[in-house]
Amino acid sequence: MKIETCMKRNVVFIPFDTTIGDAAQMMVKRHIGILPVVDENNKPVGVVSMRDLLTLELPDFIELIEDLDFVHDFGAVETTRPGKKKLSEPVSTIMQPVKAIEEDGGLLRGYALMIQNDLYDLPVINKSGKLVGVVSRVDIGTTLLSNWSTVVQK
């Protein structure tokens, strides 16, 4: 089976000069966790994930201390917000390099890409490299699992 059978086609994306603040509001409005960033030719140049945005709010210490069990209250950190200056920077300053899959790619290949790169969504591109959809772990996973019922029936 191919990725195109289970991907979402009405994909929400943003141009690379969108500000960080606008990208965040786009995620809120559409209730999504990933925004492919595209150039003038509709080709993906990066990806902004919810994680990239929320890292701006997360405290520095989570990178430095392995086991946070003893911290029961994050205190002042709970109410910190990224500054106005940061929010008006373009998303290109925080976006991650794009890891995309071709629409005719295999499902297991897609899933393996996600696991190896610790991703939950992949932008899908066509032969000419243009963004045509987005596929999530759940999209791929449920499609794969649905095949299992035929195994049981045999």
Partner 1 sequence: MTTAAIISTAVFLISLGLIFSEKLHRTIIGFAGAVLMVGVGRWLGFYSESQAIAAIDFETIGLLAGMMILVSLLEPTGFFQFLAVWAGRLSKGRPVYLLVMLGSVTTIISMFLDNVTTVVMIAPVTILICEVLGINPMPYLIAEALLSDTGGAATLIGDPPNILIGSAAGLTFMDFILKSLPIVLVSWLTALLLLRILFRRELSTRPKNIKAILKLNPQEALDDGVTARRVLIVLGVAILFFFFSHYLAVSPAFIAIAAAAAAMIWVRPNVKDTLMRIEWSVLIFFAGLFVIVGGLNAAGVFDVLVQALAGLHIEQPLLFSILLIWVVAGLSAIVDNVPITIAMIPVIQGLGSTGMNITPLWWALVFGAGFGGNGTIIGSSANIIVACLSEKTRTPITTRLWSKSGLPVMLATCTVASILFAITYSWLSR
Q: Minimal distance in Å, beta carbon 109 to partner 1?
A: 35
Q: Which stretch binds partner 1 (CB under 8 A): 64-72, 88-96, 107-115, 125-133?
A: 64-72
Q: Which one, of 16, 55, 54, lies nearest residue 35 by Cα?
A: 16
CA distance 60 to 109: 35
| Residue 73 C-beta: closest distance to partner 1, Å | 4
Q: Is 118 in the site for partner 1 (CB under 8 A)?
A: no
CA angle 148, 153, 154 (to 5 degrees): 100
| Three-point CA angle 46, 94, 19, nearest 5° | 90
- Tokens representing residue 65 in the block: 């201390």
Q: Is 72 in the site for partner 1 (CB under 8 A)?
A: yes
Quote the DSSP letter at residue 137: H
Site pattern 74..93 for partner 1 (x: CB under 8 A): xxxx-xx-------------
CB atoms within 10 A of CB 77: 14
Mark residues 13-52: x for contact with partner 1 by CB under 8 A, - for none: ----------------------------------------
Is residue 69 a contact residue for partner 1 (CB under 8 A)?
A: yes
Q: Which residues sit at the interface with partner 1, rule CB under 8 A?
A: 59-61, 63-65, 67, 69-77, 79-80
